[in-house]
Amino acid sequence: MMERNNLYPIFLKTQNLNVLIIGGGFVAEEKLTFLLKSSPDACVTMVSPMFRDGTVSLAKKGDVTLVEDTYKKKYLKGKHIVVATTDIPKVNVKVHKHCRKRSILVNVADNPPYCDFYMGGIVTKGNVKVAISTNGKSPTTAKRLRQFFEDVIPENVDDLVKNLNEYRKTIKGDFEEKVETLNEFTKGLIEKKES
């Protein structure tokens, strides 16, 4: 039987959430880079005994607080999402345990059994955002798919979104009627052209 990705994708308003990244090495910097690229207004705290120069520079471009310290559970207070990236497995497992006890979503980098969520590939073109998941099996595949979609989704797709939003405001009727009208109107976007 073929495996199936049962993850439920959501888009978070990270400016309303408190994110904690534990670790200051390459993986932590990579997680911060992609988080800020997708959500530049994210509120992030990073805890580590040391930080890479790139992380320090990146932190200045966003709402990022760097705390030079080892992990302690007190840093979980008020956090909604935690990403553990240390190179000490015992610490990462402890972070996972502490988060689960407090109902905080946690991702232990490169350790799927200790993840409530994965940080997949993301393509953003204005108001259009596409998230890609390989169910934690292959970040490289997600990266390649992201590159593919960045190339094939036109830059002007945001104009279409804005125009359809204005059109949607003019449609009369209840929700179901509006959906039906928009579905009919946009059907041509995905129809394959006959040669």
Helices (H), the chain: 26-38, 53-60, 89-101, 139-152, 157-170, 175-186
How many structural domains is the chain composed of? 2
Domain's final residue, options 119, 146, 174 = 119
172 in the same domain as 88: no
Q: What pLDDT, in 10s, does the model give residues 131-166?
A: 998 887 888 898 899 999 999 888 888 888 887 777
Return the H-helix or E-strand segment holding 44.
strand 43-48
CATH number at residue 70: 3.40.50.720
Residue 2 lies in a domain: no
Domain region containing 47: 14-119
| Cα–Cα distances in angstroms (integers) from residue 61 to residues 23, 56, 132, in the given order | 19, 9, 26
Q: Measured between alpha carbons, how far is 84 from 13 in angstroms, rounded to an integer?
A: 21
161 in the same domain as 115: no
Task: Work out whether the CA dihedral 85, 90, 95, 99 comes out positive or negative.
Answer: positive
Q: What pLDDT, in 10s, does the model give residues 11-69?
A: 999 999 999 999 999 999 999 999 999 999 999 999 999 999 999 999 999 999 999 99
165 in the same domain as 92: no
Residue 182 lies in a domain: yes
The residue among 16, 6, 48 whose CA lies nearest residue 31 is: 48
Residue 50 lies in a domain: yes
DSSP state for residue 170 in the 8-state scheme: H
Task: With beta carbons less than 8 A apart as the criterion, state whether 127 and 119 touch.
Answer: no
